[in-house]
Amino acid sequence: MLYSVDVLRCHSDIIMMRESCCMTENTTKTSIIGRKSPWATRLWAFGLAASVFLYLGGVSVRADDVDAASKLYNGNALYNMKVYSAAMAEYRAFLAANSQHAKADEARYGLALCLYGVGKHNEAEPLFRELQKSSIIPDKQRIAVLLGECVRKLRGSAEADPIFDAATTLPGTNTYYRNMALAYLVDGRFSLAKWKEAAEAADKALKILPAGDLAVRTAYQGAYARYQLAEMDAAAVGFEALLNSITNTPLEGQVAFLWGESLREGGKAKASEAAYLQAA
């Protein structure tokens, strides 16, 4: 059996979980900030408030609730601008005074996203766990994926596996998080050398994932898992199919070599010659 090779690990940071960028899908444009015109300032403030209103699904403000609502508005506005430290202060101030408020879970959600964004996974984890039970936060799939990522970073893929597995079937408003759940499930099992489970998860994911980096990574991991299971025919099919997506890239030679090895070890030495030529 060939020694373990993980050709995609070398650029996994490019492929996997760019969440610090993707968390701010509704980011408010702030190019007006700093202009002298009072009308520009008013337009910016109006647009910012409107974007926060849409983000929250609307916050009903009573006369005696202005201070609480303003903290929630401010927290979301700052989050949208990626000013996470200041946003966290606003969310915490809101929760300190309004822990039973109807919108408290929205503040906890914003706080959890900020903590995740600055890498404080140990603080974000309990908030995401609490939010899984919330009746007013709809993004259960997103919450599960981010919880799984916190657990993975803190304690490893084995503990995160059931979280990602469950996340693949949760309701969500954005297929990005479903795709990330599928990819993380394969990635975790692959990293733990759980080859059978990784191969099965990859087969499932590849029926759903769109073409792109995640699909390439998942296809490689699935084919390599089959290779480790000595399922040489399936591995050869997987590596050959993958080559169509990575032609003229640095990965082509490595994958072509593994295709050749799969063919050779599967008793198809003659057929492996073309693969080795492509790898050369």
- Per-chain mean pLDDT for the chain: 82
pLDDT value of position 68:
77
Which is more confident, 7 or 254? 254
Report whether pLDDT(7) > 50. no
Q: What is the average pLDDT across 120-145?
A: 96
CA–CA separation, 97 vs 255, rounded Å? 57
Q: What is the average pLDDT across 217-226?
A: 98
Burial of residue 206, with CB atoms counted within 10 A of its CB: 0-12 exposed, 13-18 middle, 19 or more buried? middle
Pull the structure tokens for residue 223.
Answer: 């084919």
Q: What is the average pLDDT across 202-208?
A: 97
The kind and range of the H/E element at 230 are none
Q: Residue 15 — φ and ψ, nearest 5°?
A: -85, -45
Q: Where residue 200 falls among pLDDT bands split at 50, 70, 90? A: very high
* Sign of the CA dihedral running 207, 260, 232, 226: negative
Q: What is the average pLDDT across 38-58?
A: 35
Compute and round to an integer the Cα radius of gyration of the chain: 23
- DSSP category for residue 73: H
pLDDT value of position 129:
98
Least confident of 25-34, 54-63, 218-227: 25-34
Report whether pLDDT(203) > 50. yes
Among 228, 260, 256, CA closest to 242 = 256
pLDDT value of position 97:
92
CA–CA separation, 189 vs 239, rounded Å? 19
Report whether pLDDT(205) > 80. yes
Report whether pLDDT(35) > 90. no
Within 8 A by CB and 6+ apart from 232, the residues are: 226, 262, 263, 265, 266, 267
Q: How far is CA 217 from CA 15, 186, 271, in A?
A: 8, 9, 25
Q: What is the average pLDDT across 119-127?
A: 98
Report whether pLDDT(45) > 50. no
Report whether pLDDT(168) > 80. yes
Q: What is the average pLDDT across 61-70?
A: 65
Burial of residue 51, with CB atoms counted within 10 A of its CB: 0-12 exposed, 13-18 middle, 19 or more buried? middle
Report whether pLDDT(26) > 50. no
Q: What is the average pLDDT across 266-277?
A: 95
What's the gap between Cα 186 and its chain centre?
13
